[in-house]
């Protein structure tokens, strides 16, 4: 998607980072510049904006459209700072595979989302005798804009996201599990990007999706945007600033990788976050899950091809670049969100980054036109 809803700052239409001339890295994006450029990957989202208080949602990622419990995909996990509630993490690490979709919600909705993922998995044809499901549910805390104690996510919302998951363009910004999130002092949200390797390096595609809700000093393709626009962590050296929060990163690739190399790949997501100026603060939960869709590495299997270690470096670079751009898209596509504090009833606002000011800044610093 190259466009979006109205920007409350200046009335301009939202756009993706590339339309502003931001093109992180050296590898080209896929056709959609989204995680769904990896063939077979499906994304579904439900956005909940109800009354004055509820600003939340669900984002579901399905590695393929079949029975994932019967055709599991290898996966790896990386954790930079473990201040979070990533359900299913220990079994994912132990067995190195996904047997359920990945669902992203807010912190206090993890339990309900797990129940829904279990219900959905048990209902799949062929799973009538299944007695255990490792539901993988990630979260960030959207309580700055959403009345999180109401736990506005119902099981039906998670099921709708799973059933509605499709290939094709992925909605970004203030949607799904990113509806109420903030990043770097501005409105954050869902962002996605992809990279294609040349045939000489394997010809693989790698896609990233992020739920951005963290802080630091925002960098955009090397430009010190946070400092220039006056919003960054430790700005006054006495204020905790906009560093606490969390981020969930999901990486998908069609490269035939083992769970071991997928864990190595997931770790590179943290380098992509670092390129955006992430503070990785004490109160931040920074998680990345990487999985492979290659048919030859699906479980169960006796043996499988594994891309050699010495040829992993281009995929590492692709992961770093795609994560960086996905975060930028989550910011530039986000729209301003308003709500009320449930205790004080005061108005709250998550202000979208001003694209007009951003364009002027980038033009003054030599960024190419979009």
- 147 catalytic? Reply is no
State whether residue 349 is helix, strand or coil.
strand
- 339 catalytic? Reply is no
Token pair for 1: 């998607």
The 3-state secondary structure of 134-147 reads CCEEEEECCCCCCC
Across the chain, the runs of DSSP E, i.e. the strands, are 42-50, 54-62, 73-82, 97-98, 102-106, 136-140, 182-183, 186-187, 189-196, 205-213, 245-253, 284-292, 337-340, 347-350
State whether residue 226 is helix, strand or coil.
helix
Q: Which of 246, 292, 330, 339 is catalytic?
A: 246
287: left (phi over 0), alpha (psi -120 to 50) or beta: beta
Task: Name every residue whose Cβ is closer than 8 Å to that of residue 243 and which is 6 or more positions away in sequence.
Answer: 214, 215, 216, 233, 234, 279, 281, 283, 284
Q: Which of 284, 292, 330, 339 is catalytic?
A: 284
| 242, containing H or E segment | none
Q: How far is CA 313 from the centre of its chain?
A: 22
CA–CA separation, 247 and 139 (whole Å): 8
Question: Among 222, 235, 307, 257, which Cα is nearest to 97's?
Answer: 257
- 193 catalytic? Reply is no
DSSP designation for 64 = S
CB 7 within 8 A of CB 331: no
Q: Which residues of 126-139 are buried (b: 16+ CB within 10 A; e: fewer)?
A: ebeeeeebbbbbbb
Please give the positions annotated as active site.
Answer: 246, 284, 286
């Amino acid at each position: 998607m190259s466009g979006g809803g109205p920007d409350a700052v200046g009335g301009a239409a939202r756009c993706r980072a590339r339309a502003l001339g931001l093109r992180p890295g050296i590898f080209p994006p896929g056709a959609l510049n989204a995680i769904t450029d990896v063939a077979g990957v499906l994304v579904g989202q439900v956005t909940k904006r109800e009354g004055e208080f509820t600003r939340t949602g669900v984002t579901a990622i399905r590695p393929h459209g079949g029975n994932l419990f019967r055709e599991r995909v290898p996966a790896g996990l990386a954790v930079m700072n473990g201040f979070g509630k990533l359900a299913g993490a220990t079994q994912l690490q132990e067995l190195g595979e996904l047997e359920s979709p990945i669902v992203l919600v807010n912190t206090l909705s993890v339990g309900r989302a797990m129940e829904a993922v279990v219900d959905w998995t048990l209902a799949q044809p062929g799973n009538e005798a299944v007695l255990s499901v490792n539901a993988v549910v990630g979260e960030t805390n959207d309580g700055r804009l959403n009345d999180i104690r109401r736990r506005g996510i119902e099981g039906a919302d998670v099921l709708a996201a799973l059933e509605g998951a499709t290939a094709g363009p992925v909605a970004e910004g203030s949607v799904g599990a990113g509806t109420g999130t903030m990043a770097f002092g501005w409105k954050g949200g869902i962002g996605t990007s992809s990279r294609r390797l040349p045939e000489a390096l394997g010809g693989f595609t790698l896609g990233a999706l992020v739920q951005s809700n963290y802080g630091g000093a925002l960098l955009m393709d090397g430009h010190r945007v946070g400092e220039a626009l006056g919003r960054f962590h430790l700005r006054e050296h006495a204020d905790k600033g906009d560093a606490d929060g969390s981020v969930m990163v999901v990486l998908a690739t069609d490269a035939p990788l083992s769970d071991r190399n997928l864990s190595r790949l997931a770790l590179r997501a943290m380098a992509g976050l670092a390129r955006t100026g992430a503070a990785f603060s004490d109160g931040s939960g920074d998680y990345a899950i990487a999985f492979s869709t290659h048919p030859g590495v699906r479980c169960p299997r006796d043996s499988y091809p594994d891309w050699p270690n010495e040829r992993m470096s281009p995929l590492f670079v692709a992961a770093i670049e795609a994560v960086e751009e996905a975060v930028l898209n989550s910011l530039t596509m986000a729209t301003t969100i308003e709500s009320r504090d449930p205790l004080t009833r005061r108005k709250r606002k998550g202000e979208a980054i001003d694209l007009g000011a951003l364009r002027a800044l980038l033009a003054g610093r030599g960024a190419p036109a979009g």
